Amino acid sequence: MSAEQRNPSGELTPREPEAYASALRSYFRKRCHSADVEDLVQEVLLRMHSRRAEAEIENIGGYIFTVAAHVLIARRKRGGLGEIDLADAVDTITPERIVLARREVDRVVQAIQDLSPRTRDIFVAHRFEEMTYAAIARRFGISVSAVEKHIMLALRELSRAIQVQP
């Protein structure tokens, strides 16, 4: 079985629940006290691993966040969550964060511009024009597999650009 699947828009998404741990942390940080976040993430991952799969999950990302919502509700019903600290729930925008975000956007834009013309055009068609891989393949006269490779290359380069510190 592949470690990735396609979502309805044709994008590759991970099949392994652990790939969603960071997104789950973000989800829980917005909904409960920060001291509870890691426990909740672990509970979701445990439920995903102990689930008896009768059928393959088509949209694992959606399913995981549904499980996360149920875990949160169950924990609140049991009284196992502290009250949400508004300082934890509010994402404070500071001048420093604005500057850092602008630098990150600049790095991403530069990374897109630095892509080879074909990879850039394919990436833009998919991410900004919301074209499916099949439609892009037809437009450029290439296989869907080639489109996937261009998208993966673009994402790898963008990921590198984001990871570089200013």
Band (pLDDT 50/70/90 cuts) for residue 13 is very low
CB 117 within 8 A of CB 109: no
Give the class (CATH, top level) of 4-88.
mainly alpha
Q: 63-116, pLDDT tens digit by residue?
A: 788 888 888 888 877 776 555 544 544 556 778 878 888 888 888 888 899 999
Q: What is the arithmetic mean of pLDDT over 25-39?
A: 83
The domain ranges of the chain are 4-88, 92-163
Which residues pair with residue 4 across a beta bridge? 14
CA distance 121 to 23: 28
Instruction: Please check the confidence at residue 153 and state whether its pLDDT lies above 60.
Output: yes
What single-letter DSSP state applies at residue 90?
Answer: S
Its pTM stands at 0.45
| Exposure string for 52-68, b = 16+ CB within 10 A, e = fewer | eeeeeeeebbeebbebb
Give the class (CATH, top level) of 92-163.
mainly alpha
Instruction: Please check the confidence at residue 148 and state whether its pLDDT lies above 80.
Output: yes
